[in-house]
Structure 1
């Protein structure tokens, strides 16, 4: 009965997601839905590294920005169509992430966080400084993949593209969690030194997770470039994007498949609400930071594990029953 309820709930969620563009009353809510799916896909992608290995990267926005710029440059400079540009850019970013990961995963804890932040700063400076190729601080214009569609119809198309990417990432996470490779990653998270002493190739496992996570984040960045069609290096390489990935994953639960999705469903609409209600202020950034602090302090395992533990908590036995036992 419990499994049947889970499958029924999953089917209802999929049906609601597929119907969402047709039932929302205006284009702004459709835009917010696309943005939420984008963040859900990036957070789940981040969770392939952070959730399985425990390595917290704040620098995944570097891969998001590289995926966006790589897609745009292949279309504008090389003349490729949008699908080869999207896939080719993501593969190059994954290769770059693997090369960076060989050095990055040698450090742990706060040192790894600092290295990931430095990666964002370096890529941001590189893109802004290489004006002849990237357009510098003025950004890059990306041609539309669907020139015959207006802005509202484009939202419809990209809603389903991001939904497909999210499904692919979640399916990948699910397969990893049930594989021997996933067991090795979890061993790294629990005790890396002991896992290595037991024969787990920790370095290779971490680099693979790092590159796979970057691949999907780059795909999300490429779709963002095709959707927005105007790239601002200050935004696409912002550490805020990486922080949102961490926040959404922690809020929902990094050890659960649906944790990042739940976090995105809370954080992304809340951010849009603050933007609409308060205008172009920094309040939404302060609210996101405060929420991250509260989650780390009071709910470090996330909403889903906390709720599951609350529901399945056994009744306390009386002192007499415990003494008899």
Structure 2
């Protein structure tokens, strides 16, 4: 049907756009990221994310994961927010949920579109394909950079000159030999806005993240008590952190109109009351966060996070609920409640100024 690879790629891009992808590119499947990955893992910066090391051999190279792969189709779906992600930074009674988790679970939305695009490609060419989004051992950000979607910024996340830092990534591995796109050059310049914005100094150097200090890691991946040294800096963040992403000056080009409507924030997840979160039991937690990526952390971690936020709130009206949690069946909840009560009584709160960090311009 297609006379050459160029016409196939044009049609493939058009179908990807029809399915909701705003970024498209192709990279060769012969990349090898083993050296950088090994160095990062050996430094201990992955924290408790043992799954990063468990399949490191496959993660390091697309062909190690699937020897038949010849091309990687890298795709991005926008979730650019319509409002300032840092607007709730000073809200004492409300919790902050990362923008990406305020709508429907991106795993489901992106994978559905990837599968539809993969079916189209198989029908048109007969090629073999495999689709991946986030949960597989795939180095999605370096592959997206190699495919020209953008570049990995100093916060280690993807940055797009068109969509800023607000892209969900997915990929299709295929046996087809597609024409690769040129890699996107780094355009961070001398800007350090994302580094400066980080409340916990999670970047030991530009382009390198120490997950053990990252609020997203601490509130989502970390299963035990959150280390005391980070609790004040967490402020009212109860799931993830957008500070380094929101600080990126390239976001001025991102258009919320380009965002997939499935990622529109649910009203109850935009600014949840800490009082409501502290009262969650397992059943209510599952009901409230059904269809959300938040559901995977479970009730205990969410209430632990809410208790930390309550301790930072200066709102003594939360004391009664925190006292009730002192006897919670979950040790991490009970411990966080104890800390929060002591924090409220001491009243020695330090202001969290991360949201007021000036935004630099790309240079």
TM-score, scaled relative to structure 2: 0.22
TM-score, scaled relative to structure 1: 0.23
Higher helix share: 1
Determine which structure has greater relative contact order: mean sequence separation of CA pairs < 8 Å that are 6+ residues apart, divided by chain length.
1
